[in-house]
Amino acid sequence: MTDASNRSIPALSIVIPAYNEERRLPATIRDLKSFFGRFGESTTGLEIIIVVEKSKDRTVEVARQSVADDPLFTVIANDVQRGKGFAVKTGMLAARGETVFFMDADLSTPLAEIFKFLAEFQSKPEVDILVGSRAEAQSQIIKKQSWVRQNMGRAFNRFVTLLGTSGIRDTQCGFKAFRRRVVEELFTRQTLNGFAFDVELLVLAEFMDFKVEAIPVRWVNSPDSKVRIWIDPIKMFYDLVRIRRIARQSLKARPLVQAPSQPDR
């Protein structure tokens, strides 16, 4: 791994949170190396940041062994386990790319979708955030979740809509992209560490007048979801009913002094 301060600013950053991923992470890293190797990405054009929450297995050791001295990769080891939201926030604030993605360690959304998102950003300079969505008509669900998880996800998104939290039909797809101009503004204000952090980010984006667009994606369910089916949904619903108040408090504590520079809309 190379010291980030000694590298040029990359065009693209990818942030991957990891928790108890000893078994799955080496294959993910191999897929990343293989995929980007085919396209000839240089070390100045790409950085991949793996953020390991304190785990019960050897995730951080395996991550470091798998990336070895590859300059594309940086491994950040959080010394506490606070949740996926905290891991994503850590990586996003460390990222330096002009476009910054975060995606799940299981790569449920295929890496090829990155180029679709980049093309969308290029064609729509007014858009600040692109959200992968499994709920669009053009989305392709290659392997579905279990009936229980599908219906829990639908119920959660109905609550999101009913509470007027976001116009996004699928807030929980772990594949999202942000322009550099909004990363610090959003993630320095993010407060939720658990799985509802995605909704908090979208509410903050709404309050801060950032333009968000949902993009249909291909998606393959992984059976090794880190969402604990009888515990995490309760926490998520509790956060959801407080989400707009949480976002307002974040903006009150750290007001937006000036909107980031962006094209005319």
Q: What is the pLDDT of residues 8-30, one digit of tens each?
A: 678 999 999 999 999 999 999 99
More confident residue, 222 or 169: 169
Closest CA to 222 of 27, 13, 87: 27
Q: What is the pTM of this model?
A: 0.85
Confidence of residue 166 (pLDDT cuts 50, 70, 90): low
SS (H, E, C) 94-144: HCCCCEEEEECCCCCCCCCHHHHHHHHHHHCCCCCEEEEECCCCCCEEEEC
Confidence of residue 75 (pLDDT cuts 50, 70, 90): very high
Question: What domains are there in the chain, each with its CATH number?
Answer: 1-107 (3.90.550.10), 109-254 (no CATH)
* Tokens encoding 15: 């942030």
Cβ pair 59, 25 in contact under 8 A: yes
DSSP state letters, 219-251: EE--S---S-TTTHHHHHHHHHHTHHHHHHHHH
